[in-house]
Amino acid sequence: MNKDWPLWEVFIRSKNGLSHKHAGSLHAVDAAMAIENARDVYTRRAEGVSIWVIESKNITASDPADTDMLFEPSVSKVYRHPTFYDVPDSITHM
Amino acid sequence: MKINDAYLEYLLRLGDNALILGQRLSEWCGHGPILEQDIAITNIALDFIGQARMLYQYAAEIEGSGKTEDDFAYFRDAHQFKNVLLVEQPNEDWAYTIIRQFMYDAYNFYFHRALQTSKDPKLAAYAEKSIKEITYHLRWSSEWVVRLGDGTTESHERIQRALDEYWSFHGELIIPDEIDMIMAETEIGVNLTEIKPLVEEKMNEIFLMAGLRKPASTWMHKGGKNGIHSEYLGYILAEMQAVQRTYPGNEW
């Protein structure tokens, strides 16, 4: 029998307007405890204003064996980057 | 007793409770049941030590003879410490630590909530800063009481045993003595008679959720507030003060 508590992935948003970023993982018996543990482990130096947790087993990940099939084709398609437009001088903050 | 003497004594009681409980909790550092709770409980220990510092700094100001916070923490003997007996009781295991913490947090929350309206703006500001930390402490320890009480047969038995054993130490927190009454009358301190039913209601609520049986005994330990301590305090101080007593004034 596995005596460890379930594993959770923690996502922290550092300030309003930014998106949640993966911070790490931890053990907890349920979602409520996972939030509190995340608060104690990952925000003790004022890193965040919002926490998401999800049990690790609920994450579906891409298969490393599929890397070539999934990601290789986009490497040669530079035209998908919007870098071929002339930006008028009057447009700032681009 | 003069108001100023009572006030100094009152600040030291608050500071000593925070320091001794913080020191006790810090004994868990590196020994927590899992990494996450090891960090949680040492965060809480640091909150208490931070609160003790603020209270000692203010006590030093009121005392007015040039003492510092370190004099209060490191150069007093056991009979000069005025913390309640509950906070010096041993950690034993997670269940005992949680029961001690929950009973203290239930008192500490309502105490600091009321202290925010102190007639002394400095003490009110201290309370306002600390209540945020204390609100989290109470939530954390309440949850653990419920998890253990309503958990497995073994966790239930062990936390019930801890409650039975530490129950008679909570009375000292909420039963006023002369200094408590003087400070309540000046409206600088908290009226314990007013918060007592709130603290008891909180305990009843959480014990009910946890399926724990509240001990029937109404007899309560007392003495800590007047410097009469259990044998444990001497050992706590010996460890906590060793470096400063050996190398007075040493800094790092």
Q: Is B220 exposed, middle or buried (0-12, 13-18, 19+ CB in 10 A)?
A: middle
Alpha-carbon distance of A76 to B113, in angstroms, equals: 63
Q: What is the pLDDT of residues B46-104, one digit of tens each?
A: 999 999 999 999 999 999 999 999 999 999 999 999 999 999 999 999 999 999 999 99
Rounded to a whole number, what is the distance in Å from the CA of A49 to chain B's nearest CA?
15
In this complex, the residue of A29, A32, A41 whose CB is nearest that of residue B39 is: A41
C-alpha triplet B129, B22, A36: angle, nearest 5°: 65
Full residue range of the structural domain in which residue A26 is found:
7-61
Cα angle, residue B86 at apex, residues B49 and B142 outer, rounded to 5°: 75
pLDDT in tens, A15-38: 888 999 999 999 999 999 999 999
ipTM for the predicted complex: 0.77
- How many residues does this entry show for chain A? 94
B69 within some domain: yes
Under 8 Å CB pairs connecting chains A and B tally to 28
Whole-number pLDDT of residue A1: 54
Domain count, chain A: 1
Position B84 in a domain: yes
Boundaries of domain holding B176:
3-246
Give domain status of residue B251, yes or no: no
Between CA B37 and CA B97 the distance in angstroms is 12
pTM assigned to the model:
0.90
Considering only CA atoms, give the Rg of chain A. Answer: 20
Task: Please name the residue of chain B whose CA is at the shortest distance from the CA of residue A40.
Answer: B40
For B196-206, the pLDDT digits (tens) are: 999 999 999 99
Q: What is the mean pLDDT of residues B168-176?
A: 98
CA distance B38 to B25: 10
pLDDT of residue A93: 76
Residue B38 lies in a domain: yes
